[in-house]
């Protein structure tokens, strides 16, 4: 049995065509079912469609042999316990700072709202900017509008969400895409099936660019 943990939402949607090219098709639509384990057309391959931030945990502990997660999540929540052999090139976006269009830095300690506490801390320290990081779990765009923070650190794709809230992107922290990650033990104990899968995914990704 090969278990693949996939971040739900945008990453799952973008991963489906890649998996289909590899001949792997879930037989249940997670939007229409409450099942947490999705069988596929292969009796020995199953998918776990879970919160993005949980993917590294499931893979590191071996509850899933492999996973698909954004580089933002891997960089924030730790990718040390995992192999990260393939950049799948899907769900591309940028991790950026953003602020109200009329915001001018005052030179005082910057208040930053984000769910990416580690990445934000590292970025502002690297810039020599004194910052106070306020951890949020969602809707970061709200924070500058109601005076909770001066800036936010969040993923930006089209920029429409920022624009709709009177915010603008300022600085790019890192380019993001989804990566295939592999449990270290599975790389050895399921070597044949894992390396076959990796080779196939590598070919599919290479053929796309």
Q: Which residues of the shown chain bind ligand AMP in the complex (CB under 6 A)?
A: 10-11, 70, 91, 93, 154-161
Nearest distance in Å: CB 186, ligand AMP:
25
- The residue among 2 and 73 lying less far from ligand AMP, judged by its C-beta, is 73
- The answer to whether 173 and 95 have CB atoms below 8 angstroms apart is yes
- The residue among 89 and 159 lying less far from ligand AMP, judged by its C-beta, is 159
- The residue among 117 and 193 lying less far from ligand AMP, judged by its C-beta, is 117
Dist CA 188 CA 97 (whole Å): 40
Nearest distance in Å: CB 115, ligand AMP:
9
- The residue among 138 and 147 lying less far from ligand AMP, judged by its C-beta, is 138
- The residue among 64 and 96 lying less far from ligand AMP, judged by its C-beta, is 96
Nearest distance in Å: CB 34, ligand AMP:
23
Instruction: Name the residue among 21, 64, 27 with its Cα closest to residue 190.
Output: 64
Annotate 67-135 with three-state secondary structure: EEEEHHHHHHHCCCCEEEEEECCCCCEEEEEEEECCCCCCCCCEEEEECCHHHHHHHHHHCCCCEEEEE
> The tokens 């899933």 sit on which residue?
64
Nearest distance in Å: CB 179, ligand AMP:
12
Instruction: Provide the 8-state DSSP code for 63.
Output: S
Nearest distance in Å: CB 59, ligand AMP:
18
Instruction: Name the residue among 185, 184, 172, 182 with its Cα closest to residue 202.
Output: 182
């Amino acid at each position: 049995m090969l278990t693949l943990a996939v971040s739900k939402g945008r990453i799952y949607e973008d991963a489906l065509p890649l998996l289909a090219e590899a001949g792997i098709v879930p037989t249940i639509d997670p939007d229409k079912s409450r099942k947490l384990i999705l069988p596929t057309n292969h009796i020995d391959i199953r998918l776990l469609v879970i919160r993005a931030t949980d993917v590294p945990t499931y893979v590191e502990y071996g509850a899933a042999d492999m996973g698909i997660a954004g580089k933002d999540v891997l960089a924030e929540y730790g990718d040390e316990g995992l192999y990260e052999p393939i950049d799948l090139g899907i769900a591309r976006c940028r991790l950026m700072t953003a602020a109200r269009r009329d915001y001018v830095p005052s030179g005082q300690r910057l208040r930053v709202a984000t769910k990416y506490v580690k990445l934000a801390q590292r970025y502002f320290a690297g810039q020599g900017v004194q910052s106070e990081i306020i951890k949020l779990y969602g809707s970061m765009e709200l924070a500058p509008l109601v005076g909770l923070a001066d800036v936010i650190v969040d993923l930006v794709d089209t920029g429409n969400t920022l624009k709709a809230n009177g915010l603008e992107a300022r600085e790019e922290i890192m380019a993001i895409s989804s990566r295939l990650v592999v449990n270290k033990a599975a790389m050895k104990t399921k070597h044949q099936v894992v390396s076959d899968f990796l080779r196939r995914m590598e070919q599919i990704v290479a053929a796309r660019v």
